[in-house]
Amino acid sequence: MSQINEVVMPHDAVMLRPVRFVGKNDIKLYDPVEFKSGKKGCELYYRRCKVFGGVAKSKEEQVGLCDILNKDFDVVGDFPLTSKGLRWLYKSLDTRVAA
Q: Which of 70, 95, 74, 68 is nearest to 12 (CA)?
A: 70
Q: Are 61 and 55 in contact (CB under 8 A)?
A: no
pLDDT digits (tens, 9 = 90+) for 42-68: 999 999 999 999 999 998 999 999 999
Alpha helix locations (H) across the chain? 39-51, 83-92
Q: Are 54 and 89 in contact (CB under 8 A)?
A: yes
Determine the Cα angle at 23 with ends 33 and 2, to 5°.
80
Q: Is the pLDDT score of 3 beyond 80? A: no
pLDDT digits (tens, 9 = 90+) for 10-48: 999 999 999 999 988 899 999 999 999 999 999 999 999
Single pTM value for the model: 0.90
Domain ranges of the chain: 15-92
